[in-house]
Structure 1
Amino acid sequence: MSAPKPTLGRIVHYRGRFGFHAMRAAIVTCDVSSLDPRGVEQGLIPALDSDQHVHLWVFTPGESGGFTEYNVAPGELVDGEIPPGTWCWPARV
């Protein structure tokens, strides 16, 4: 059984590209089905490399509240960690 494809509005976990930060909650702001090709053609938004890549809004504590990450690949959860700059599904509880 393959992993479900990420879809617009789903909550995922994200680990920062530099790996310094703990995993954060993020929401999928764009997937392959919601990506506007006109925006990509005009250079307004990056393309996605696969149907598993997403654009995210990453929630953070503090005043800024979060930041955007583009074209984020999925990462495999191993011992509670994912590689830097990747997303994964939250563990089922």
Structure 2
Amino acid sequence: MSANRFTMNDLRRILREGAGEEADLDGDIDGVTFQDLGYESLALLETGARIGREFGVELEDDTLIDAETPRQLVDAVNELLLAVRAA
């Protein structure tokens, strides 16, 4: 994990911390929807709070709701990290 970059492995770890080890997040989940992975909006809001605490960014609720796939969420977090560094 690096505070300069948010990775798919960071997201997997945070999702598992919130949902438990039974979550099937192995393999290529980049384009699988969160709904198909079994994550509803409340779980994503909790995920966003965990990301925010750990990486020092504030994710808007709309960002979390609009991110339909893990790849979209990872990209959104990395955009915020770039903006924080540029500020």
Is TM > 0.5 for Structure 1 vs Structure 2?
no
Class of the TM-score when normalised by the shorter of the 2 chains: under 0.3
* TM value normalised by structure 2: 0.23
Task: Give TM-score, length-normalised by structure 1.
Answer: 0.22
Of the two structures, which has the highest relative contact order with CA contacts closer than 8 Å and spacing of 6 or more?
2
Q: Flag the structure with larger Rg.
A: 1
Higher strand share: 1
